């Protein structure tokens, strides 16, 4: 999904008005996140020209997906799907297990993140 602002001034260019791109990755409470879809989304985000080098993840929806999300992100860091210099920010408003609602995802130091 691509969102754009409607309140732009006539003098603003398309680049100045900003865009928000939302990539949706499937998850379920028992199997966790769809790892291949998440990897493809991460690759797209890191190839996009961004200045802040932050991968933002809104999720998981289910507490049961937290472990698979963490394993996938760790694997991506080790395999350098997430390039050096990038950080990952995970925010969940619905996962209920303590410690799973907000925070930067801890990744292995060997990953160089």
- Which segments of 6-101 are extended strands (E)? 19-21, 27-28, 32-33, 54-58, 87-91
C-alpha pair distances (Å), 72 with each of 35, 36, 39, 50, 67? 6, 9, 8, 22, 9
Write the pLDDT tens digit of every residue in 35-51: 999 999 999 999 886 67
pLDDT value of residue 75: 95
DSSP state, residue 22: -
**Ranges of residues in the chain whose predicted pLDDT is under 50:** 100-113
> Peptide bond preceding 60: is omega within 30 degrees of 0, i.e. cis?
yes
């Amino acid at each position: 999904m691509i969102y754009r602002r409607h309140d732009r001034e006539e003098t603003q260019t398309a680049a100045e008005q900003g865009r928000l791109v939302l990539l949706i990755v499937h998850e379920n409470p028992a199997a966790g996140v769809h790892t291949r879809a998440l990897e493809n989304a991460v690759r797209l985000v890191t190839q996009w020209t961004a200045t802040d080098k932050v991968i933002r993840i809104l999720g998981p929806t289910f507490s049961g997906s937290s472990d698979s999300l963490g394993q996938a992100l760790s694997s991506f860091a080790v395999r350098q799907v997430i390039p050096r210099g990038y950080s990952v920010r995970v925010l969940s408003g619905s996962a209920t297990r303590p410690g799973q609602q907000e925070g930067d995802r801890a990744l292995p130091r060997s990953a160089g993140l």
